[in-house]
Amino acid sequence: MAEILDLVRKNDKYRAETLNLQASENRLSPDVKEALSSDLASRYSHIMPDGNNSYGGTSLFEQIYEKARSDVQSLYNVRYADIRPTGGHIAVLAAIKSLTKKGDTIYAIGPEGGGYPGYQEEYIPEMLSLRRESIPYLPEQQEIDYDEMAFAVKRNRPNLIVLGQSAFVRPYDLARISEIAEESGSRILYDASHVMGLIAGGKFQPDAAKRADIMVGSTHKSFFGPQGGLILTNDLDLVPKIEKNLTWMTMDNMHPNRVAALGIAAREMLKHGKKYAALVEKNSYNLGRALDQHGISVRFGPWFSKSHQVLLSPSGDRDFIAFSKELERNGIIVDRDGRVGTSEISRMGFSGMDEVADLISEAHAGHNVLKRVTDLVSLLKIEFWR
Ligand SMILES: *Cc1c(COP(=O)(O)O)cnc(C)c1O
């Protein structure tokens, strides 16, 4: 026991001294952390259709739950927000199950376009007995091939079109997709897992919840929250289905500590989201440009990115695993898929992207910049919370 606690403390110290550029991660405010490790971490709450809770001692938590729910609804300007999913993947499962039945066809972006692996045939489609087709995609432009998509959707009339990617730097033409979907009676699920924090701040694709039948996403990537998921919709007819597909179908305990932490994060977003999202967008563009100038080629210049991540070009001798390990030795953390994220450094109010690009290129060139990285990180502190 003591050994694990010791490792946890070491990890806290280690991560506090490193520069985190992982697109899937962010940093929690002290308030959010306090809620996460509160008494609520070992509690249950389940409000039944008749309004009674199946558990006792929940009256304070019920106030927290209602407040968190209503803040998330205002943040995304939607009629219904479900804050119970314990992860983005759970939110996706419940949402897809609410929009399809066995044997239905769904369209999703494939891995070559940066699509989420969960939408590949052998995962969610297999679990829910769905047929899966790929949305025609132009990976070189990181864009849907809209004409081909219109043609394919018209011919195959899928029940559901799933949008959203894990390597996600460019918003869609949602007006066009809505038209395509409407013609063939297809529903739209927008998986905003990576960009929930940007949308909350009015950036990237602010009309996603309005245009889609359901929008889902993770609460911990570009968003300020603890790990978890959200389901958002304006279609109140879908609500009973969503509710049925959560408790006892895809999950049980909603993790009341997580819900409280999420509520606090939603408040932080309501207060600071616009400034944060604007900084993330600016930092991504500046980092893309600066990396490119430092000889680390980034895809999709001259615009590079409209989101919280830039995608490195796989050309030349770049092996993303080796690249990530070189950086890690120098205290810079990136994933092993060639994504470099700006959420966390933006959360620290930092905008020195030239310096970040310089550190990355020096580390990649085999120079030791660990001390420079630690010195830089020691000057950063979390912003956008109170
Ligand atoms: C990360 C991700 C998920 C899964 O979210 P978790 O919160 O990790 O469960 C789902 N869809 C997309 C597009 C993602 O990038």
The string of pLDDT tens digits covering residues 299-338 is: 999 999 999 999 999 876 679 999 999 999 999 999 999 9
Return the closest-CA partner of residue 255 out of 49, 44, 105. Answer: 44
CA of 261 to the centre of ligand 1 (A): 19
Ligand 1 proximal residues by C-beta, below 6 Å: 24, 87-89, 92, 116, 118, 164-166, 191, 193-194, 218, 229
What per-residue confidence (pLDDT) applies to 318?
A: 73
What per-residue confidence (pLDDT) applies to 314?
A: 81
Rounded-to-integer distance, Cα 193 and Cα 256, Å: 21
pLDDT-based confidence at residue 282 (cuts at 50, 70, 90): very high
Look up residue 345 and give its two tokens: 């450094």
Residues of the chain with CATH 3.90.1150.10: 18-25+273-379
From 92, 127, 308, mutation site for ligand 1 pocket: most ligand atoms within 8 A of C-beta: 92
Give the residue whose CA is nearest to atom 6 of ligand 1. Answer: 88
Judging by DSSP bridges, how do beta strands 19-20 and 332-333 pair with one another? parallel
Look up residue 82 and give its two tokens: 């479900």
Give the residue whose CA is nearest to atom 1 of ligand 1. Answer: 193
Mean pLDDT of the 266-279 span: 98
pLDDT-based confidence at residue 49 (cuts at 50, 70, 90): confident
Residue that has been written with the tokens 């985190």 in this structure:
20
Q: Is the pLDDT of residue 153 over 70?
A: yes
Q: Is the pLDDT of residue 21 over 90?
A: yes
Cα atoms in the 13 Å half-sphere on the side-chain side of 308: 36
> Which ligand 1 atom lies nearest to the CA of residue 228?
7
CA of 219 to the centre of ligand 1 (A): 10
What per-residue confidence (pLDDT) applies to 317?
A: 62
CA 334 to each of CA 22, 65, 145, 303, 340: distance values in angstroms, whole numbers, following the listed order: 5, 34, 30, 21, 6
Judging by DSSP bridges, how do beta strands 187-191 and 214-218 pair with one another? parallel
Q: What is the pTM of this model?
A: 0.98
Residue-wise pLDDT tens digits, 294-310: 999 999 999 999 999 99
What per-residue confidence (pLDDT) applies to 1?
A: 57
Q: How many other CB atoms are found less than 10 A from the CB of residue 324?
A: 19
At 319, which amino acid appears? D
> Which ligand 1 atom lies nearest to the CA of residue 166?
15
Ranges assigned E (strand) in 285-335: 309-311, 332-333
Return phi, psi of residue 163, to 5°. -105, 165
What per-residue confidence (pLDDT) applies to 170?
A: 97
What CATH number should be reported for the domain whose range is 18-25+273-379?
3.90.1150.10
Find out whether 295 and 361 touch, Cβ atoms under 8 Å.
Answer: yes
* Secondary structure tally for the chain: helices H, strands E: 15, 13
Mean pLDDT of the chain: 97
What per-residue confidence (pLDDT) applies to 10?
A: 97
Return the closest-CA partner of residue 253 out of 44, 37, 54, 38. Answer: 44
Q: Is the pLDDT of residue 210 over 60?
A: yes
> Which ligand 1 atom lies nearest to the CA of residue 90?
9
CA of 92 to the centre of ligand 1 (A): 8
Residue-wise pLDDT tens digits, 76-124: 999 999 999 999 999 999 999 999 999 999 999 999 999 999 999 999 9
CATH of 30-267 given 3.40.1350.10, 3.40.718.10, 3.40.640.10, 3.40.50.720? 3.40.640.10
What per-residue confidence (pLDDT) applies to 254?
A: 98
What per-residue confidence (pLDDT) applies to 316?
A: 60
What per-residue confidence (pLDDT) applies to 2?
A: 73
Residues of the chain with CATH 3.40.640.10: 30-267
CA of 136 to the centre of ligand 1 (A): 21
